[in-house]
Structures are given as C-alpha cells and as structure tokens.
Amino acid sequence: MSEFLVNLLGERLVNGEKAEVDVHSLGSKLSLLGLYFGCSLNGPCKQFNASLCEFYSKFKKSSEHKDKLEIVFISSDQDQKQWQDFLQEMQWPALPFKDRHKKMKLWNKYKVTSIPSLVFIDAATGKVVCRNGLLVVRDDPKGLEFPWGPKPFVEVVAGPLLRNNRQTTDSGALEGSYVGVYFSAHWCPPCRRHFKHTMKIETSFTQYFSEMPWLAVPYTDEARRSRLNRLYGIQGIPTLILLDTEGHMITRQGRVEILNDPDCGLFPWHPRPVLELSESNAVQLHEGPCLVLFVDAEEEGELEPAKELIQPIAEKIMAKYKAKEEETPLLFFVAGEDDMSDSLRDYTNLPEAAPLLTILDMSARAKYVKDVEEITPAVVEQFVSDFLAEKLKPEPI
C-alpha cells in the first residue's frame, strides 16, 4: 500500500503547521483515502470545509474504523499564503503547494470537473470507491455506512417509482431492461431542452414531471435520490447514465449520444473507441486528456480513414484499462475542416497543418503536438505511449 500511495501522492505531504508528513506514516490500517479537491477562494469550498472538519473530527474520535480513513487536500490555489491559511483550518495533510504536476495528474485521473469535490479511493489500488463524498458527509455524518462503496443499482433504486399520472410502479419492473438514469432540475435550461428528473420545490417537480412520459423517484424520497447521486458521482446536470439489462453502466454520456443519434440507430450507445469531434461531444474535451487527430476533410465520411488509423490504438487502450476496472486515461477524436475544429485550433493555438496529431489537456491547459508529414499507426502508438509514460513535454494552451 505504501508503495502505491507514494507513487500517487509523493514521499511527503504537509500539514497546517508547515510540518512534513511522511506518506508511509499514514498507517498500516489505512484502507480508504479521501482526495479533497478545493480552493481557499471558492465559497462552496469554504462552506464544505467546515462540514468536513466536523465530520472528520467525529469519525476520528468515535468510529471503530478511525484508523482506516485519511483525507488529503489537493488545492488549486494560486497564492501560497491563502493556501497555507486555508490549510490551517484542516486536520488532515495536503499535497505540497508547489507540486502542481502531481495535483493535475490527480485531477485528470479521477475526472474532477468541479470543486469542492471529495473522492474516496481504495488506499491500496487507487480504484474509486465513492465519487461523490460531499453527499457522504451530508447524508452519513456519523460515518455509519463506512466505507461507502457502490451498491447494485437495483438495491439503490428499490422502492416505488412515479408516473406523471400519479400512478406508481415498483422499481422491480425495471429488471431486464436497459435503463436511463436521468439527473436534472426544472431550473436548468439545458435540462428543459432535453430530459427531466429531480427538483428544488415539490410544486416545480410536479409541473416539470408532467412533461415526462417516463418514471421518476418521488420528490419526497430525498434519501434515495441522494443515494443514486452518490452511486454515479454526478458533478453536473443534465446527466443521463445508460445501464445495461444487468444494471451495469454502459455510458455516462447518454445526453451527448442522443443529441448525436436522435434516431437511436446506435442504441444502447456502447462507448466507441474514436469519436468525430462535434459541437455536442466537444464537452468531453474537458473531462481529461484527449488525443485529437486533425485532418484535411470537409465532408461527412471523409474522416473514416483517420478513424481507422487510430482505432486499433484506441481499442487497445480501452481494453487495457477496462481489464483493470479503471477509466481510460485518454479519449480519442478525429477532427476535419469545420467551424468546431477551427474554434478548437484557435483556442489552443495549434498550427494550421493537416494532418496534425495532438493531445489536449484542457484542465491542465497543456497541449502536446506531433507535427510530422506522415502519421502512421506506429507514430500514433509511440505518441500515446510516451504521453502515458510522461515522457512528453507539454506546451501551454
């Protein structure tokens, strides 16, 4: 475990007293690590920090599992004094302020898109146990449900479901079906344009739900809604999760898939190794590092040779990380000559060359460019391998 944690966090952490904390000293009994992503200047972070301090204090004093949990703060602060002042409010250690590279690796590895965020991981393997720790702190203040691991969908959703004619159906009726779990709110404009599900005020829920032909968790069942949110680690709405007939996740990108495939010809939308960059799926560029192969193609169908070029490499990466039950560390796109590609090139200050092989890491504001005359499978494979081995030098976006 210590070897894994040292690789993940480094040899030394720091605490509020400016003292170093040896990662090996986190304890042999440690089984769960909470990675707390935040910033001192962020209002919600300051609010959550107070709740987390109270939760942590109670857990360490009274839980039988007190030695099995530790939290590490991963800051996005730009000012060291503000970071240090914030750290003094905490009872747990933090990554050193200057270790920006390791912080960004953790942001990407655990797909953090907003703060505050608390991700619980297995301390021995790094696998995500619970992505939405904010709800754990709120819903289980005494830590009675430790270690907050995922439960089967059928168990979490169990109970009555509503139809918009006020009739109820037991959740058991979902068994054997593909299921879309839709997280949304009446006040969210993109949600109103697409699909709908959970709200702030019951009257709003009733009105909003009247537009929907599908089932809903009752508004009053806040605990079940929260458990579903925790199960899938929802960080933004609208989000549509697609599950297979066994309750296993197919994709988190149901909304994007429906926008791209309104006739549902590709249902149930199993992840494709390579995507054609479009306005609807460009949001995925912000979810972690993405390989984008820009080519000189203006018409639909002209991108096929580019997709065929990188597809085997993408499939190999997907299979490797799926076998380890980890999310793929790199998404793959091809982009032609259109307004979307032009905007992306302008935003990231890329050369006009085509073909152009790039890896874009928006959250780290970093890019990696391979500008060669001929892009072959071997060139792509080496580029990807070097990136994953951290052998490439990033340029700023």
Using pLDDT thresholds of 50, 70 and 90, give the confidence band for residue 114. confident
Q: Give alpha helix (H) positions in 18-79.
A: 43-62
What would the pLDDT profile of 185-201 be if each residue is shown by its tens digit? Answer: 654 455 455 444 333 44
Range scoring the smallest mean pLDDT among 47-56, 120-129, 182-191, 200-209: 200-209
Nearest to 121 by CA among 325, 286, 285, 361: 325
What would the pLDDT profile of 190-243 be if each residue is shown by its tens digit? Answer: 545 544 433 344 445 455 446 667 888 998 899 999 999 999 888 777 889 999
Average pLDDT over residues 82-101: 95
Average pLDDT over residues 49-75: 96
pLDDT for res 196: 42
Residue spans of the domains in the chain: they are: 2-139, 153-257, 273-396
Using pLDDT thresholds of 50, 70 and 90, give the confidence band for residue 101. confident
Tracing tokens 């992306």 back to the chain, one arrives at 344
CB atoms inside a 10 Å sphere around CB 299: 8
Whether the pLDDT of residue 314 is over 60: the answer is yes
What would the pLDDT profile of 260-306 be if each residue is shown by its tens digit? Answer: 888 889 889 998 999 999 888 888 898 889 999 999 887 667 899 99
- Phi–psi pair at 170, nearest 5 degrees: -75, 145
HSE at residue 10, side-chain half, CA atoms within 13 A, is 20
- Rounded Cα distance between 307 and 334, Å, is 6
DSSP 394: P
Whether the pLDDT of residue 337 is over 80: the answer is yes
Sign of CA dihedral 121, 127, 130, 131: positive
Average pLDDT over residues 135-163: 93
HSE at residue 144, side-chain half, CA atoms within 13 A, is 5
- Rounded Cα distance between 360 and 394, Å, is 9
Average pLDDT over residues 129-151: 93
Question: What six digits make up the tokens of 163?
Answer: 């139809």
Average pLDDT over residues 319-332: 89
Of the chain, the percentage scoring pLDDT greater than 90 comes to 63
HSE at residue 159, side-chain half, CA atoms within 13 A, is 15
pLDDT for res 19: 87
DSSP 267: T
Mention the CATH class of domain 153-257.
alpha beta
- Rounded Cα distance between 124 and 121, Å, is 9
With respect to CATH, is domain 2-139 assigned 3.40.30.10? Answer: yes
What would the pLDDT profile of 6-25 be if each residue is shown by its tens digit? Answer: 999 999 999 988 889 999 88
Length of the chain: 397
Does the fold of domain 273-396 match that of domain 2-139? yes
Using pLDDT thresholds of 50, 70 and 90, give the confidence band for residue 322. confident
CATH architecture for residues 273-396: 3-Layer(aba) Sandwich (3.40)
pLDDT for res 288: 86
pLDDT for res 203: 47
What would the pLDDT profile of 291-304 be if each residue is shown by its tens digit? Answer: 999 998 876 678 99
pTM for the whole structure: 0.77
Using pLDDT thresholds of 50, 70 and 90, give the confidence band for residue 370. very high
Q: Give alpha helix (H) positions in 162-201.
A: 189-193
Tracing tokens 């152009």 back to the chain, one arrives at 356
pLDDT for res 186: 55
